Structure 1
Amino acid sequence: MSLDDRRQEIITAAAELFDRSGYSQTTMDDIAKTIGIAKPTLYHYFRSKEEILSSIHEEFIDLLLEKEERRQRAGLPPEQMLLEVMVDILELMETHRGHLRVFFEHHRELPDAAQPDMRAKRDRYEEAVTRTIKAGVTSGVFRDLEPRLTALGLFGMCNWAYQWYRAGGPLQPREIAFQFWDIFVRGVAATPSRTLI
Structure 2
Amino acid sequence: MATKAGAGEQPAPRPRRRLRAEERWEQILTVSAELFSSKGYHGASLDDIGERLGIQKAALYHYVRSKEDILVEIYDRMLTRAEAEVLPIADEPFAPDERLRRMVSRYIGLMIEQADMWSLIHHQQNALPEASYEATLRRKRAFEKKFEGVVREGQASGLFKPMPTRLMVLSLFGMCNYVHHWIRFADFAEEEITGVICEVLERGFIDDGGKRVGAWPRYAETSDAMTETAARLDALNRQVKELQAAFDRDRHRLIDGFAGPPAANGAARKEKGEEVQAAPASGRKAAGAKPRVVKPAK
TM-score normalised per structure 1? 0.86
SS at match of 2:78: helix
State the Cα distance separating 1:73 from its structure 2 match. Answer: 4.4
Compute the displacement of 1:32 (Å): 1.3
Change (3 A) 1:17 1:65: same
Q: Does 1:79 align with 2:97?
A: yes
Partners in 2 of 1:67 and 1:35 — Cα distance?
30
1:186 is the counterpart of 2:184: no
Cα RMSD of the aligned pairs, angstroms, is 2.4
1 CA distance for matches of 2:93 and 2:55? Answer: 46
1:160 to 161, 174, 178: 178
CA distance in structure 2 between the partners assigned to 1:72 and 1:160 by the alignment? 22
CA distance in 1, matches of 2:75, 2:191: 23
Q: Partner of 1:177 in structure 2?
A: 194
The answer to whether the aligner puts 1:18 opposite 2:36 as a matched pair is yes
| Counterpart secondary structure, 2:41 | coil
Unaligned ranges ≥5, structure 2:
1-18, 212-298
Within 5 Å, give how 1:76-155 maps onto structure 2.
Answer: 76-155=94-173
For 2:98 and 2:52, the matched residues in 1 are separated by 41
Find the structure with the greater CA-based Rg. 2
Any idea what SS the aligned residue of 2:65 has? Answer: coil
Moved >6 Å (runs of 4+): none
Shift of residue 155 of structure 1? 0.2
Tell which has more relative contact order, 1 or 2 (C-alpha 8 A, sep 6+). 1
**Residue of structure 2 equivalent to 1:43:** 61
Note the alpha carbon deviations across 1:63-120, whole angstroms, 9 max, x for none: 1111123313433332122222322333234311111111111011111121122112
TM-score, length of structure 2 as denominator length? 0.59
- Where 1:81 maps in the other structure, the secondary structure is helix
Aligned pairs, how many?
191
Task: Report the identity percentage.
Answer: 28
Measured after TM superposition, the shift of residue 12 of structure 1 is 1.4
Partners in 2 of 1:72 and 1:81 — Cα distance? 6
Deviations, residues 126-171 of structure 1 (Å, cap 9, x unaligned):
11111111111122221112111111000001112333223671x2
Bigger fraction of residues in helix: 1
